[in-house]
Structure 1
């Protein structure tokens, strides 16, 4: 996998008490509203694994394959949720309405990502469950899509399953380029590799799509229900920034990936080389700054519970 990605330039640094503590290299691409590259750094044409940032594209593929879902359900299908009550209730309801159960999920058992939700599970004497896993909404959507098409449910995660072949074709079409490689994500589903430019283009396509289209349905669902996409926590950037910036579509991915788009403005996609998650959003803000949009540009570094430094973009 590491051979796919050539690496990039210095994008961000961590500063504590005016001393640079660490530096983060990576790649970032900025597209204008016309889809043309407005700025870039590093390798934006070589393939990377966007990881969970492709969930909105997979949600489009499920709609194209016949998935019937309302806005809240679509937001959960595209989510990396934190396993809080609203997420768990939504996933269980999605399954129940189709005659499915949490036992049909093939994502691995896990604890909720949110500390409060995880603590509540432990206090209640429970352990890891599949529904707690942050991708369970996507898996519920995959099961319902397979069900409506009469495709096998037990093997829906196999790369050669009709569902996964259809989703791969959809992602390649939305990105405007072929998938370079396929691996297995942490949730057990196939995960594709393609370029940051393709990732940014796909997000711009979603927010620019006509009302009533399947692409626009996913973008609107995520923007209308940002809490379901991530979680109720001031540190959850997907939820926080989509609430703060009208029209913004944003989805992060593991190992330092983020992609976002604003209709009529443009899109940004990035990958941090070392997988550092806290460097993503200062770089994302720097990218949108090149499009004339001001986003929160620094992340606080805490010491003893108080700010003692920042993570900032140097791009």
Structure 2
């Protein structure tokens, strides 16, 4: 999007990269992104949803789902705004053959170092470009260690405004707040990446699609970099009582310490 002329301040750019909680500040930021291209909320074509954050969803109550409240509204605001400033069709900005999506696909391939051979549709309606886990690690490492001004801008935006990338009380935001310069992003079906410039990059995909292991796995993986996240153990309940906890296996901690 930035290569196609989108110009945002860092706070709004962080929201374009987000799976946000759906707070008032997230929704207001998405509206500001749209306004840079003279657009309103009605230009969004992502699947309506209620806020992703637990607190935000509870506060939302029985109100109808909206595209603005959905966790990917920042990304879609950025996409449709990019289409608008280039004079591209706005109704079809999600289509994989749209000029914008072709540019995004090429950026994915260049960074991952592999060709995209499968394209699906994300829950939000945007194209879902399939890459390998190795390709994902390669792509994120290249972004965080790049001298390309656009890549540097994206990393600076996310690490400067972690609350816009996710939300208060969520693992992505908390981890980046603990360690300045650390880039962390979660995704659907148990996907997560973490990268620190000058150090390493990691990515994982939970086989069961759950995110319940993110905190202990992220803590264990970053411990060898001297990053102590200080996350509390994730409890497991049985019969209303704590009967165990979710923790990283010895295999993970041994690999992380190498």
Instruction: Tell me: CA distance 1:292–1:198, structure 2 relative to 1, closer, same or farther (3 Å).
Output: farther
Aligned length: 249
Structure-1 residue corresponding to 2:93: 156
Structure-1 residue corresponding to 2:156: 220
Structure-2 residue corresponding to 1:80: 19
Q: Is the 8 A contact 1:107 1:188 kept in 2?
A: yes
Deviation at 1:258, TM superposition (A): 0.5
Matched, 1:135 2:72: yes
Quote the RMSD (CA, aligned, Å).
2.0
Q: Is the 8 A contact 1:63 1:214 kept in 2?
A: yes
Following the alignment from structure 1 to structure 2, what is the Cα–Cα distance between the partners of residues 197 and 128? 36
Q: Is the 8 A contact 2:46 2:125 kept in 1?
A: yes
Q: Is the 8 A contact 1:270 1:284 kept in 2?
A: no
Following the alignment from structure 2 to structure 1, what is the Cα–Cα distance between the partners of residues 10 and 130? 28
Instruction: Tell me: CA distance 1:193–1:230, structure 2 relative to 1, closer, same or farther (3 Å).
Output: same
Q: Is the 8 A contact 2:236 2:246 kept in 1?
A: no
Gaps of 5+ in 2: 252-258
Deviates more, 1:92-101 or 1:65-74: 92-101
Following the alignment from structure 1 to structure 2, what is the Cα–Cα distance between the partners of residues 284 and 116? 23
Structure-2 residue corresponding to 1:32: none
Deviation at 1:296, TM superposition (A): 4.7
Deviation at 1:295, TM superposition (A): 4.2
Instruction: Tell me: CA distance 1:260–1:81, structure 2 relative to 1, closer, same or farther (3 Å).
Output: same
Matched, 1:90 2:26: no
Decide which structure has greater strand share: 1
Matched, 1:171 2:90: no
Structure-2 residue corresponding to 1:245: 179
Following the alignment from structure 2 to structure 1, what is the Cα–Cα distance between the partners of residues 130 and 233? 28
Question: Equivalent of 1:278, from 212, 237, 258?
Answer: 212
Following the alignment from structure 1 to structure 2, what is the Cα–Cα distance between the partners of residues 114 and 213? 32
Structure-1 residue corresponding to 2:5: 66
Structure-2 residue corresponding to 1:116: 55
Structure-1 residue corresponding to 2:256: none
Gaps of 5+ in 1: 1-61
Structure-1 residue corresponding to 2:254: none
Structure ranking higher on relative contact order (CA contacts 8 Å, 6+ apart)? 1
Question: Equivalent of 1:268, from 202, 207, 213?
Answer: 202
